[in-house]
Amino acid sequence: RKEVEQDPGPFNVPEGATVAFNCTYSNSASQSFFWYRQDCRKEPKLLMSVYSSGNEDGRFTAQLNRASQYISLLIRDSKLSDSATYLCVVNERRTDKLIFGTGTRLQVFP
Binding site for another protein (CB under 8 A): 8, 32, 34, 36, 41-46, 49, 87, 89, 91, 95-103
In the complex, the smallest distance separating the C-beta of residue 108 from another protein, rounded to whole angstroms, is 21
> Which residue stretches of 1-110 are H helix?
none
In the complex, the smallest distance separating the C-beta of residue 8 from another protein, rounded to whole angstroms, is 7
* 3-class DSSP state of 81: helix
Cβ neighbourhood burial of 61 (10 Å; 0-12, 13-18, 19+) = middle
- Closest to another protein by CB, 18 or 26: 26
**Of residues 6, 67, 64, the one with CA closest to residue 33:** 64
In the complex, the smallest distance separating the C-beta of residue 81 from another protein, rounded to whole angstroms, is 20
In the complex, the smallest distance separating the C-beta of residue 89 from another protein, rounded to whole angstroms, is 7
- Closest to another protein by CB, 19 or 44: 44
**Which residues, 6 or more positions from 95, have their beta carbon under 8 angstroms from its beta carbon?**
none
Quick one: CA torsion of 64, 55, 59, 23, rounded to 10 degrees?
Answer: -10
